[in-house]
Structure 1
Amino acid sequence: MTGPAGVRCMLMRGGTSKGAYFLADDLPAEPAVRDALLLRIMGSPDPRQIDGLGGGHPLTSKVAVVSPSAGPEADVDYLFLQVGVDTAEVSDRQNCGNLLAGVGPFAVERGLVEPGGRDTSVRIRMVNTGDLARATFPTPDGRVDPTGDAEISGVPGSAAAVVVEFPPGAGPLLPTGRARDTVAGTDVTCVDNGMPTVLIPAESLKLTGYEDPADLEADRDLAARLHEIRLAAGELMGLGDVTGTTVPKLTLLAPPRHGGAVTTRTFIPVRAHTSIGVLGAASVAAGLRIDGGVGAPVAVLSEGGDRLRIEHPTGFLDIESSVGAGPDGLPTARRTAVVRTARKIFDGTVFPRAADPARPPAPTSGGQR
């Protein structure tokens, strides 16, 4: 039997997502050709992704492309690609902080970074935005050890902790320059601490903020309202027409129920997240600390300390976040760090389905940066 050539691939769970990790050299250099191949590898477009690696949901239809860094400030470069499930689209318009947790271990496994002893730290440049991160994880005996007692909501069992720290980004924390904007008749806070995010009090949309994600997805009137808000907020945030993109994310805020700082419901962009993304949580955490923002009256913040617990539909995410004043007097992120886990599921060769000569090249959203 003959067919398309296989591609070296490692399937990993990173945080609360799952994705295919590739060395850049193992994929075509031309983005359009690469993306068409990734669609076939993931089994898209198909709601079930039955003929590929994807799991039929945006959280399991993700790709990490890793290479030696082009600059001295990082060890490796990480390009995140969101592969459409039932659409033939591949987007590089956002980062993914969940798959980011697996980049350091993957880089060590593939020999891009030498293990550093009991623990290894890998400096990562996120190609999508140019932002930097440092991931630290255990490497006893010079090998990645995924076992440990760290637990994160939304993932069964425990694993080794991967501590991911983000230095302040170069862009403004408040892309609109204001703590509060009125967008499509709704008060929101537009914040970007690694992920462009629009914070919306759930009660302003006549919701409790505690609804099940499936019920939120089934509400067509809500979907139309959120779409209107997202389009208008995208323009205000300098993102242009976001009709075909997955950013900005929208996060509904409600008072906490289980001792955390806030309860969240996040949309990516129309599917309701069953938890919350790492970078989305980083933006939420920073947004809660902004005086005059929509999150301040909703959140319950403890005095002293940087740690916040962000509640979501399947549990919580703990994040350390501090905000201060920048030279222009506007709020700016000082420190952001989160504990994640990651695990290699398989390492081998994936065989994509044959290319369909009648299908046009995959549209790539945003263009590689």
Structure 2
Amino acid sequence: MTQTAIPFWFLRGGTSRGPYMRRTDLPQDREALADVLMAAVGAGHPLNIDGIGGGAAVTTKVAMLSRSDDPAADIDYFFAQVAVTERQVDFRPTCGNILSGVGPAAIEMGLHPAVDGETRVRILSVNTGARIEAIVRTPDGRVTYEGDAVIDGVPGTAAPILLNFQDVVGSSCGALLPSGERRETIDGIDVTLMDVAMPMAIARADAFGLTGTEGVAELDANREFYARMEPIRVEAGRRMGLGDVTSSVTPKFGLLAPPRHGGTVTARYFMPWNAHPSMAVTGSQCLATCALLPGTVADGIAAPASGAPAIVTIEHASGRIEVTVDYEATDEGIVVRSAGLLRTARLLARGELMVPRSALGPEVNVDHRGAVQAGPAHAGAA
């Protein structure tokens, strides 16, 4: 089998990891692109044994970067969620944890210049249209990964990466509350359907007979819960205008419970067919907004926030995450201006990722050594 070498940078971004590649090195055709990404990750096997995936949804993610044509952005970030055991790729969602590595990766790839001290990278999420500013530490004009920042779900410390999310409300469904309701009932379970950075169906843990403090292994072993949750999620997707989401990872599902350790709320996040080992960056923004908006399923269990911006602390399976939400309370509810988080990232490897030549299609230029030739400096990310 003839293989082709694609340049890649392998990073941990937040509590996820995966390959970061130049969009110009990959097929523009979505079907061909999906074939390449499935081959790279090794989709279709629980261990992703024939690729570089890690056998979990947080380790089968791919970031594709290019310089942006948008005057308000520096980098276009196109995200793909590759399935673990199925041969399937979902281009609908975005990933805020993988986004944590976009700034460093863009600098490492030579797509964005670094300055001495801190480098600001303006990022456009191609999947959702959201705009994010990443602040990356770059002493002497080079990315540093060493620092004293700690995020739960990742061992050790690293250099902080500050993310400021804008245009996050209704990015997928067109409204904060796509169904127009703060709380509604699906199959006897009260839910809040909300779209902030990530469309979600959110319920209380006790509605499923859970405490909300269960660990990931315990939740994933509870197949009765998933059998009860999935039809609710599918109907939620229909009500949110997302169509048939049976084979899509959006909307995600979240459970809320009272805080146990001084935070604002306890949450468990589902991807959606497995529990997240910690917390998604995008999901944390949606859950934080749910905790701030009166009348949602968070009413009565989330600790009240004071002032705006508000710091919402979400207790999750691996610790806690803080989301700073800049919002304004109105007679109709709240207007979310932006959300900020602190994340970290680390470059783990770089080199060439081998995929079958047949998966690339004729549009990708390959030299006599079987390596992808460098694409043009400017190319659209979608």
* TM norm. shorter chain > 0.5: yes
Equivalent positions of 1:151-230 (< 5 A) are 151-169=150-168, 171=170, 172-230=175-233
244-253 or 297-306, larger mean C-alpha shift: 297-306
Deviation at 1:248, TM superposition (A): 0.7
In the alignment, is residue 352 of structure 1 matched against residue 355 of structure 2?
Answer: yes
Letter in 2 for 1:315: G
In the alignment, is residue 244 of structure 1 matched against residue 247 of structure 2?
Answer: yes
Q: Give, in whole Å, the separation in 1 of the partners of 2:356 and 2:279.
A: 32
The DSSP-based 3-state class of the residue aligned with 1:6 is: strand
- After superposition, give the CA deviation of every residue in 1:15-57 in whole Å (9 maximum; x if it has no partner): 0000110001111222211210111111111111112110000
In the alignment, is residue 322 of structure 1 matched against residue 326 of structure 2?
Answer: yes
Letter in 2 for 1:323: Y
In the alignment, is residue 7 of structure 1 matched against residue 11 of structure 2?
Answer: no
- After superposition, give the CA deviation of every residue in 1:55-92 in whole Å (9 maximum; x if it has no partner): 00010000000011121111010011001111110111
- Counterpart in the other structure of 2:302: 299
- Counterpart in the other structure of 1:360: none
- Counterpart in the other structure of 2:65: 66
53-62 or 256-265, larger mean C-alpha shift: 256-265
Letter in 2 for 1:39: M
- Counterpart in the other structure of 2:74: 75
Letter in 2 for 1:50: I
In the alignment, is residue 124 of structure 1 matched against residue 126 of structure 2?
Answer: no
Normalised to the residue count of structure 2, the TM-score between the two structures is 0.90
Q: Give, in whole Å, the separation in 1 of the partners of 2:357 and 2:215.
A: 39
The DSSP-based 3-state class of the residue aligned with 2:153 is: coil
In the alignment, is residue 18 of structure 1 matched against residue 17 of structure 2?
Answer: yes
Name structure 2 gaps, 5 residues minimum: 360-380
In the alignment, is residue 34 of structure 1 matched against residue 33 of structure 2?
Answer: yes
Q: Give, in whole Å, the separation in 1 of the partners of 2:279 and 2:356.
A: 32
Percent of aligned pairs sharing the same letter: 42
Q: Is the 8 A contact 2:4 2:356 kept in 1?
A: no
- Counterpart in the other structure of 2:100: 101
178-187 or 278-287, larger mean C-alpha shift: 178-187
Q: Is the 8 A contact 1:201 1:252 kept in 2?
A: yes
Q: Is the 8 A contact 1:35 1:90 kept in 2?
A: yes
Q: Is the 8 A contact 2:168 2:338 kept in 1?
A: no
- Counterpart in the other structure of 2:283: 280
Q: Give, in whole Å, the separation in 2 of the partners of 1:131 and 1:99.
A: 14
- After superposition, give the CA deviation of every residue in 1:175-208 in whole Å (9 maximum; x if it has no partner): 2222111122111111111000111111111111
Q: Give, in whole Å, the separation in 1 of the partners of 2:246 and 2:179.
A: 19
Q: Give, in whole Å, the separation in 1 of the partners of 2:326 and 2:347.
A: 32
The DSSP-based 3-state class of the residue aligned with 1:293 is: coil
Q: Give, in whole Å, the separation in 1 of the partners of 2:57 and 2:165.
A: 24
Deviation at 1:355, TM superposition (A): 5.5
- After superposition, give the CA deviation of every residue in 1:241-299 in whole Å (9 maximum; x if it has no partner): 11010011111111111111111111111101111100000000011011111112111
Q: CA RMSD in A?
A: 1.7
Q: Give, in whole Å, the separation in 1 of the partners of 2:225 and 2:191.
A: 16
172-181 or 8-17, larger mean C-alpha shift: 172-181
Q: Is the 8 A contact 2:169 2:195 kept in 1?
A: no
Letter in 2 for 1:333: V
In the alignment, is residue 262 of structure 1 matched against residue 265 of structure 2?
Answer: yes
- After superposition, give the CA deviation of every residue in 1:220-241 in whole Å (9 maximum; x if it has no partner): 2211110111011111111111
Q: Give, in whole Å, the separation in 2 of the partners of 1:244 and 1:346.
A: 32
- After superposition, give the CA deviation of every residue in 1:71-128 in whole Å (9 maximum; x if it has no partner): 1111010011001111110111101000001101111111111113310010000000
Q: Give, in whole Å, the separation in 1 of the partners of 2:304 and 2:312.
A: 8
- Counterpart in the other structure of 1:146: 145
- Dislocated runs of 4+, deviation >3 Å: 353-356
Deviation at 1:353, TM superposition (A): 5.2
Q: Give, in whole Å, the separation in 2 of the partners of 1:352 and 1:315.
A: 37
Q: Give, in whole Å, the separation in 2 of the partners of 1:335 and 1:44.
A: 35
Q: Give, in whole Å, the separation in 1 of the partners of 2:129 and 2:69.
A: 11
Q: Is the 8 A contact 2:257 2:301 kept in 1?
A: yes
Q: Give, in whole Å, the separation in 2 of the partners of 1:37 and 1:332.
A: 40
Q: Is the 8 A contact 1:40 1:355 kept in 2?
A: no
Q: Is the 8 A contact 2:169 2:196 kept in 1?
A: no
Q: Give, in whole Å, the separation in 1 of the partners of 2:251 and 2:269.
A: 11
Deviation at 1:354, TM superposition (A): 6.7
